[in-house]
Chain A
Amino acid sequence: MPACTGTMKMSPLVLWFHKLGSPPYFYRLAGRFLPWLYAIALVTGAVGLYGGLVVAPADYQQGDSFRMIYVHVPCAWMSLFVYAFMAANSFVALVWRIKLSETLAMASAPVGAAFTFITLVSGSLWGKPMWGTWWTWDARLTSELVLLFLYLGVIGLYHAIEDARQAARAAAFLALIGVVNLPIVHYSVVWWNTLHQGQTVSLMGQSKISSSMLWPLLTMAFATHVYFFASLLARSRAALLALESGKEWVRGIAQAREAHAHG
Chain B
Amino acid sequence: MAEFLHMGGYGAYVWAAYTVFVVVLFADALMPLWQRRNTLREIDARLRRESNRKSTP
Contact = CB atoms under 8 A, between A and B. Distances in A.
User: Which of B11, B13, B24, B31 has the most chain A CB atoms closer than 10 A to its own CB?
Assistant: B13
Interface in B4-25: 4, 7-11, 13-14, 16-18, 20-21, 24-25
Contacts, number: 99
A68 B16 CA distance: 9
B4 to A, nearest CB: 8
Q: Size range of the interface on B? A: 20 to 34
Contact of A125 (B13, B40, B46, B47): B13
A64 B7 contact: yes
Contact of A126 (B9, B13, B32, B33): B13
Interface residues of A, number: 42
Contact of A63 (B10, B29, B31, B39): B10
Given A71-B21, A118-B24, A231-B32, A125 B43 contact: no
Interface of A: 38, 49, 53-54, 58, 63-65, 67-68, 71-72, 75, 110-111, 114, 117-118, 121-122, 125-126, 128-129, 227, 230-231, 234-235, 237-239, 241-242, 245, 250-251, 253-255, 257-258
